[in-house]
Amino acid sequence: MKTIKYILAFTLLGSVFVGCSDLELVEDPRANIAADNLYKDKAGFEVGLNGLYAQYRRERGGDTYGSGNDLMIDPAVTGTDNMYGNERTGWARGGNELDARNTPTYSGNRQLLNWLYEMNNAANTIIARAKNPAIDWTDKEKNRIVGEARLLRAWVYRHLSSLYGDIPLVLEESSGANVITDWVRTPIGKVREAMEADLLFAEEHLPETSSNGGKVVKGVATHYLAELYLTLGRDGEAVTKANDLITKGPFSLITERYGVRANQPGTSFTDMFIDGNSNKSEGNTEVLWVMQHELEVNGGGDNIMRRWHRARSQDIRVDGKSNTIMFSVANGGRGLQRVAPTRYALELYETSDHRGGRFAWRDYEVLNNPDNVPSGRAIGDTIFFDWKGKDEKQQNNYWPSTRKWDYANPLDLAGSRSYNDQVYLRLAETYLILAEAQMNTGDLEGAAKSINKLRLRANASLITAGDVDIDFILDERSRELYSEEHRKYTLVRLGKWYERFQLYNKVGAPNGDERHTLMPIPQDAIDANGIPMTQNPGYDNE
């Protein structure tokens, strides 16, 4: 049985190898005390940080270190107003079957909590070991490394507090005699105090830019501080932080075509999601943080975002004929569309809005199999889906899908994994945080101006102060950030999840109620704890 002490004690340190000579096995106990061996110099701490970033990449990589078929962070994005589970397998069903799957005993829930506490302890280990005065480094080098670890620790608690509410706050390395077995759930206010302290430290000590596109930088900390201040009702401080990042940081919205397909049809909005355009070094001025992946590189990482979101072209029948569409780089690769947009999400866009157009969404397939062309059709014909005016339903192969995560390995077109670098956090969301904070402080003109920056880029009609309210901002967040933001966190933060889930999620609404606002604490953790631990309301008898 997994116990909570094991959950809190796991640490990902990266690979540590023990040498051998002349094919003779030499016992070396250092393998049992990896942290003691690793964290002796700056190079060791960089390796530890690499392990921490590898943990972060698991969010999009599957449920078991990149080998699973379930998107780890699915509970944060689906089962909301704008996304539902289309394919009846895996985690995707959780957003439709909340009463049956969002339970204390569901294995995916346990895996999710384990992952986050593994990452938390990895960050704690780096932070604790950096206090060693014998390490030869400058204060600047030390503070930068600790700043990265502290930002990622705050990122962990952003997940934990949004998913579970009150949660054990663990800020010390858990190992040996230091492992505690009588955890209590820390009030969420205290958790957020710790998050603020970590983010402020990171903001002070991280560089503004990095040659490594996967590293967190100062702007990431500033962005999350602005969001945190919104959560805490400190709206004036949220305005200040968001404005500082927008006006003083090295980032700007992409408003012109750029990158590897700049001379091909497309839009400035969709360019940033094309493989080869995601990083700052590739011309992306808007991106704050990029999730890095690399094909055929040890530790390069992979993801299943295309598999999760792209429609199932292989199951499309044209004029009753199957196998008319082949996987290709041009059509975004092989998808399973485990999740899909709700009708509400699809109908948010004006006709002119690039974010809702056919470079952003696939509501069609193109015939490309020369060996199987239906009578009266030709290669290159576009087959449009008949979806308008219809509600979402499960196992619908003729439903639109986002193109943000298109990718195919030309050497393995049917492969499940993707290896493209991906936008993880970008300045457009900072503008929406700013708009919300401005609205909360009574500056509706300013809020409309902030939103119009995005709408102008997207070729959508501009709004006025009278259009601004929280539901409009939530609609705009969906238009801009569909499948990027942790949508449920936003809705929970605003107390809007249940209301909008019931209004707009036609598949999931009959199976959800207000207790599903938060996830249950896994029963294994409760049973293994040395003292009683309270469960979230409504889950006690499951």
Whether the pLDDT of residue 394 is over 50: the answer is: yes
- pLDDT score, position 175: 78
289 part of a folded domain? no
- pLDDT score, position 92: 76
Q: Hunting for tokens 């485990």 — which residue is that?
A: 338
6 and 118 share one domain: yes
The identity of residue 18, as a single letter, is: V
What's the CA gap between 485 and 473, in Å, rounded?
14
4 and 120 share one domain: yes
Closest CA to 408 of 279, 537, 505, 275: 275
Measured at the CA of 411, the angle between CA 64 and CA 401, to 5 degrees, comes to 65
Confidence band for 107, pLDDT divided at 50, 70 and 90: confident
At 374-390, the pLDDT tens digits run 999 999 999 999 999 99
Whether the pLDDT of residue 152 is over 90: the answer is: yes
> Do 55 and 114 meet the contact criterion of CB atoms below 8 Å apart?
no
The pair of structure tokens assigned to 256 is: 């012109």
Kindly state the average pLDDT of the residues 520-525. Answer: 94
- pLDDT score, position 63: 64
- pLDDT score, position 542: 62
Instruction: Give the domain range for residue 165.
Output: 1-16+31-187+514-542
What's the CA gap between 476 and 348, in Å, rounded?
8
Could you give the 3-state DSSP secondary structure of residue 477?
Answer: helix
- 464: number of Cβ within 10 Å: 10
53 and 165 share one domain: yes
Share of the chain above pLDDT 70, in %: 91
- pLDDT score, position 17: 23
Total structural domains in the chain?
2
- pLDDT score, position 32: 47
Name 401's bridge partners: 362
- pLDDT score, position 64: 53
316 and 174 share one domain: no
170 and 319 share one domain: no
Mean pLDDT of the chain: 91
Confidence band for 19, pLDDT divided at 50, 70 and 90: very low
Domain end among 399, 416, 433: 416
What's the CA gap between 490 and 155, in Å, rounded?
15
- pLDDT score, position 2: 32
Residues 283, 288, 294, 298, CA torsion sign: positive
- pLDDT score, position 31: 46
Confidence band for 182, pLDDT divided at 50, 70 and 90: confident
8 and 156 share one domain: yes
530 part of a folded domain? yes
Kindly state the average pLDDT of the residues 513-534. Answer: 94
68 part of a folded domain? yes
Confidence band for 27, pLDDT divided at 50, 70 and 90: very low
At 317-349, the pLDDT tens digits run 999 999 999 999 999 999 999 999 999 999 999
Share of the chain above pLDDT 90, in %: 82
At 188-221, the pLDDT tens digits run 999 999 999 999 999 999 999 999 989 999 999 9
> Do 118 and 529 meet the contact criterion of CB atoms below 8 Å apart?
no
The pair of structure tokens assigned to 38 is: 């690793």
Contacting residues for 186 by C-beta, under 8 A, at least 6 apart: 166, 167, 168, 169
Whether the pLDDT of residue 67 is over 90: the answer is: no
